[in-house]
Amino acid sequence: MTLSKYFHEKIFKKLFDKTWPKWLGGILLALLNILLFAYLMPLGGIYPAVSEWGIWTYKLAGLEIKPPFGSLELPHLSIKSILSLGLMSGVFVSSLLSRQFKLRKDTPGGYLQGFAGGVLIGIGSFLAGACNVAGFYSSIMSLSLSGFYMMIGLIGGGYFGAQIMMWQGRKKAERLTFELIPESRDSALKEYKSNQPKIGFFITFILIVIALTYFLNGKQILGSMFLFGIAFGVVFQRSALCMAAAFREIFTTKNNGIMRSIMLSLIVGVIGFSIIKAGGFKPEHAFVLLAGWHTIIGGFVFGLGMVIAGGCAIGILWRSAEGYIRHWFSLLGGMLVAGLWVPVYGFNVGKGWLYGTPVFLPDKLGWGYALIIVLTILTAFYFFVRWIEITASKRKELSK
Amino acid sequence: MNNHYKVDIRNMMCPYPKYVMPKILEKLGASEKRTVIDILVDCPSAIDEIPPIISKKGYKNEITQISNGEWRIRVKR
């Protein structure tokens, strides 16, 4: 066996032929997030990045809008944007190497729904003060009460979104056409030879050059954030850990593999983040967000939006990079709403009683109880969704 | 007797392909024994999620990639 053949058979095929196990994806995401937190900040800032892109879009149209956080930087010089751009690049490369990239068209109604979902995601992020990644995923790892509030909202919104998607699914099923194929045309298909992996290697090379350019110009943080983004993108794409699906499937097919791996990911993350915080490597109150009614309502609107759009904050970036045109509209909807952050809200995001206050659970309960309670809730939810899964499949067997 | 069908659900994004599967399997179940249905999909998650739905019903499936990001799932009784 030659070296290139060995590489192809043993490494490349394993990485890019089959989807990675969901549990592995969950653990890898948690480890990446722990590393990223130890380095700079946890995975988040997707929404502020989208907001910056929205402000740039308005600017190109001649409208001057102030950014909600700090000053407006060019996307390639903004830490938040570069993480999201890295993530999209990672997804793009990964989908090419896996021979899965395709420009996927949709119906006008699909585009409109994608746009509407993006708008709801935008509004939900306003209200919650963060997207699902920062507000739910990284917040729970940070032992912030807000993460659980947002989770409640996401489950509620996910329920209503799931009803809409199932109703649409039934309508699509009615309209299916079964086309008869003449026997003569029934030839066996050969394995499809794709040139996408080659393009993927070429793009990988370009991405490495871009990262090196940052490092050589003394922009270590930007370069590292770009690389982190790529790593996150590859893991999301290869393990298909779609958070919109996690919150939707509890109510539809009840295949809760993704939700379970997210819980597993959170458990690993909580432990890692706690070591970093309790060890004094990062401030304890890092990523502790406001917990109040706004968080729950925002989570609800966000949850509904992400399910009808077909992707959460990361999901719409990821699907856009995989070639789903519908999600370009979602991204546009999110950008246009997020860009209006300051004109609509002024600098009042987070002010007022509805927003509540940031609650760092160890402050209220002590480290010991906080960890025990959080880990118990996550484990209990893991088994709860597993129980839903088992009872649903038993019911199906009985009805056969 | 011709009993080979094609259902083209390319451009149907996730999760719709798995939501329309019951209808496709119903058609297969109601047809005569030698019937084959080719489902054309372009959603990467469908090729992970649809085969278990098919095998749960006791049917056989075979996946072939037909183009970049496109697959044919052949279902047989």
Torsions phi, psi of B63, nearest 5? -105, 130
Q: Which residues lie across from A290 on neighbouring strands?
A: A358
Which residues of chain A neighbour B45 with C-beta distances below 8 Å?
Answer: 19, 240, 242, 245
Give the torsion sign (CA, A205, A328, A261, A101). negative
Residue A110 tokens, joined? 């699909």
Mean pLDDT of A367-380: 96
**B15 cis-preceded (ω within 30 degrees of 0):** yes
Measured between CB atoms, which of B14, B24, B44 is closest to A176?
B24
pLDDT at position A136, please? 95
At A147, the pLDDT band (50, 70, 90 cuts) reads very high
> How far is Cα A142 from Cα A269, in angstroms, rounded to an integer?
8
The pLDDT of residue A186 is 54
- % residues pLDDT > 70 (chain A): 95
Strand order, beta sheet including A179-180? A179-180, B4-8, B36-41, B70-76, B60-67
CA distance A363 to A199: 51
Q: Which of B5, B12, B15 sits opposite A245 (nearest CB)?
A: B15
Q: ∠A150-A152-A154 over CA atoms, to 5°? A: 70
Per-residue model confidence (pLDDT) at position A319? 96
The minimum CA-CA distance between B30 and chain A, rounded to whole Å, is 13
- What is the rounded CA–CA span in Å between residue B17 and residue B10? 9
With beta carbons under 8 A apart, name residues in chain B contacting A19. Answer: 44-45, 48
Taking contacts as CB-CB distances below 8 angstroms, the residues of chain B near A100 are 44, 68-69
- Interface list for B 27-46 with A (CB within 8 A): 27, 37-38, 42-45
Q: What is the mean pLDDT of residues A167-193?
A: 81
Q: Can you tell me the distance from the alpha carbon of A298 to that of A292, in angstroms, rounded to the nearest whole number?
A: 10
Contact A42, A30 (CB under 8 A): no
> Which tens digits make up the pLDDT trace of A299-352?
999 999 999 999 999 999 999 999 999 999 999 999 999 888 888 776 666 666
Cβ–Cβ gap B13/A324 under 8 Å = yes
> Count of CB atoms within 10 A of residue A202's CB?
12
User: In percent, how much of chain A has pLDDT > 90?
Assistant: 72
Phi, psi of A41 (to 5 degrees): -155, 155
DSSP secondary structure code for residue A39 in this structure: H
* B8 Cβ under 8 Å from any chain A Cβ: yes
Taking contacts as CB-CB distances below 8 angstroms, the residues of chain B near A326 are 13
Q: How far apart are CA A139 and CA B44, in angstroms?
A: 30
User: Nearest Cβ partner of A180 from B5, B44, B67?
Assistant: B5
pLDDT per position as a tens digit, A24-77: 999 999 999 999 999 999 998 888 899 999 999 999 999 988 887 778 888 889
Using DSSP, state whether A291 is helix, strand or coil.
strand
Which candidate from A168, A169, A183 shows the least CB-CB separation from B4?
A183
Identity at A237, one-letter amino acid code: Q
Give the ipTM. Answer: 0.92
Q: A281 near A136, Cβ under 8 Å?
A: no
pTM across the whole model: 0.93
When computed from its CA atoms, the radius of gyration of chain A, rounded to whole angstroms, is 22
Supply the pLDDT for residue A185: 56
pLDDT at residue A214 is higher than 70? yes
CB distance A306 to A135 below 8 Å: no
Give the nearest chain B residue to A19 (CA atoms): B48
pLDDT of A9 = 77
Q: Is A368 exposed, middle or buried (0-12, 13-18, 19+ CB in 10 A)?
A: exposed
Helices A325-339 and A46-60, interaxial angle, to 10°? Answer: 80
A8-41: string of b/e by CB count within 10 Å (b at 16+)?
Answer: eeeeeeeebeebbebeebbbbbbbbbbebbbeeb
Pick from A304, A342, A350, A296: nearest CA to A118: A304
Residue A399 confidence (pLDDT) = 65
Q: Check: CB of residue A48 under 8 Å from CB of residue A83.
A: no
Of all residues in chain A, the one with the smallest CA distance to B70 is A100
pLDDT of residue A148: 97
Binary contact (B68, A245; C-beta < 8 A): no
Residue A190 has pLDDT above 90, yes or no: no
Q: Are A234 and A200 in contact (CB under 8 A)?
A: no
Q: How far is CA A322 from CA A127, A148, A203, B13, B44, in A?
A: 29, 30, 14, 12, 10
Condensed to tens digits (0 to 9), the pLDDT of residues B6-48 reads 999 998 998 999 999 999 998 888 888 888 899 999 999 899 8
Q: At what angle do helices A293-309 and A145-174 cross, to 10 degrees?
A: 30
Between chain A and chain B, the number of residue pairs with CB atoms below 8 A apart is: 117
Chain A residues near residue B28 by CB distance under 8 angstroms: none
Instruction: Name which of A180, A183, A323 is nearest B69 (Cβ-Cβ).
Output: A323
Question: What does the pLDDT average to over A200-211?
Answer: 96
The mean per-residue pLDDT over the stretch A152-169 comes to: 96
Higher pLDDT, A376 or A351: A376
A126: pLDDT confidence band, cut at 50, 70 and 90?
confident
Q: Give the mean pLDDT of A206-211.
A: 96
| Strand ranges in chain A using DSSP code E only, listed in sequence order | 179-180, 290-291, 357-358
Q: Average model confidence (pLDDT) for chain A? A: 91
